[in-house]
Amino acid sequence: MSLVVVGSVAYDGVETPHGRVDRMLGGAATYIALSASYFTQARIVAVVGDDFAEADTELLASRGIDLEGLERVPGKTFFWAGKYTDDMNDRVTLATDLNVFADFKPKLPESYQNARYLLLGNIQPSLQRSVRAQMKHLRLAGGDTMNYWISDFRGELLETIRHWDFLLINDHEARLLAGENNLRKAASKILDMGPHTLVIKRGEYGAMLFRRDSYFIVPGYLLENVFDPTGAGDCFAGGFIGYLAEKGFDLKKGHINAKELSRAVIYGSVMGSFCCEKFGVDRFRTLTRAEIDARFNEFRAFTEF
């Protein structure tokens, strides 16, 4: 069943110890939608400028992604540039030119409004809220946020996530949001804020999923080479929600299968790991579902005891 994805579609400049690309397709919505497209139909809501390349539209379309909600306006597309440290665990932002993204007011095409799944990428909480309000038959909705919104827009953010099924953030953000260093306690506090499911991404160390009555932890996949971690967290989100959408997971029926949620975390981890294997979105030009399922099985092999 189809998935609406809201967030940035951007151009990125990235430098890692393995190389440098001055300008390539990026943005949270791009990565989420590409990743989710292996499991379900993704429908993008985003804005780009008139410099957005036809080849990039084609890549998204080639994955069956619905672009009716990809607004094109005069001006330049959102541009971000960053440089990674040698161990890839940190990055410095070199440029953030919001451009047309500064005035982004997400508008959902009518054909999107009956989609059952919603993934709200990291944008201003009030915009995330406005999108959720436009959806009529949601089975599952959730999204991402970041330090900036947690620190400077806390009230607005809390009001927004109160209505989400799941929140998907990294460990630093979880600690900041909860005001608590211990992740188990932080998770408990965040589950009091509304979402019944919390997914915490830990980069190379894997991911965790918390619910009131259970939790699940998976270590990260050990890549031999991490070429570019940009977008890995968004690809995780795409794999997570994509798998649940593929399965038709329906919370409205009150049915929550914890094992399926755990498997969704594995598919998220799988997609995040593939993302790092090449620069930008390049891995998705050749990646197949068979490779994805093979890596899912690899996760089983190296975690079972």
- Give me the residues that bind a copy of itself (CB under 8 A), please: 86-87, 181-185, 202, 205-206, 208, 214-219, 222-226, 259, 262-263, 265-266, 300-305
| CA 176/CA 156 separation, integer angstroms | 15
| CA 152/CA 84 separation, integer angstroms | 26
| CA 172/CA 12 separation, integer angstroms | 23
Q: What is the DSSP letter of 198?
A: E
Q: Report the DSSP beta bridge partners of residue 119.
A: 5, 142
> Among residues 55 and 222, whose Cβ is nearest to a copy of itself?
222
> Among residues 151 and 182, whose Cβ is nearest to a copy of itself?
182
In total, the chain counts a number of residues equal to 305
Would you list the DSSP string of 37-60?
TTTS-EEEEEEE-TT--HHHHHHH
> Among residues 107 and 300, whose Cβ is nearest to a copy of itself?
300
Nearest approach, Cβ of residue 302 and a copy of itself (Å)? 5
Nearest approach, Cβ of residue 276 and a copy of itself (Å)? 12
> Among residues 11 and 216, whose Cβ is nearest to a copy of itself?
216
Q: What is the DSSP letter of 117?
A: E
> Among residues 96 and 147, whose Cβ is nearest to a copy of itself?
147
> Among residues 218 and 281, whose Cβ is nearest to a copy of itself?
218
Sequence-distant (6+) residues with CB within 8 A of 196 are: 165, 166, 211, 212, 256
Nearest approach, Cβ of residue 266 and a copy of itself (Å)? 6
> Among residues 87 and 110, whose Cβ is nearest to a copy of itself?
87
Nearest approach, Cβ of residue 171 and a copy of itself (Å)? 10
Q: By the 8 A CB rule, do 1 and 245 touch?
A: yes
Nearest approach, Cβ of residue 208 and a copy of itself (Å)? 8
User: Burial code of 44-75, b = ≥16 C-beta within 10 A, e = fewer?
Assistant: bbbbbbeebeeebbebbeebebbbebbbeeeb
Nearest approach, Cβ of residue 293 and a copy of itself (Å)? 14
| CA 145/CA 121 separation, integer angstroms | 7
Q: What is the DSSP letter of 62?
A: H
> Among residues 54 and 224, whose Cβ is nearest to a copy of itself?
224
Q: How far apart are the first and last CA of the chain?
A: 34
Nearest approach, Cβ of residue 86 and a copy of itself (Å)? 8
Nearest approach, Cβ of residue 84 and a copy of itself (Å)? 13
Q: What angle do CA 239, 121, 124 make, to 5 degrees?
A: 165
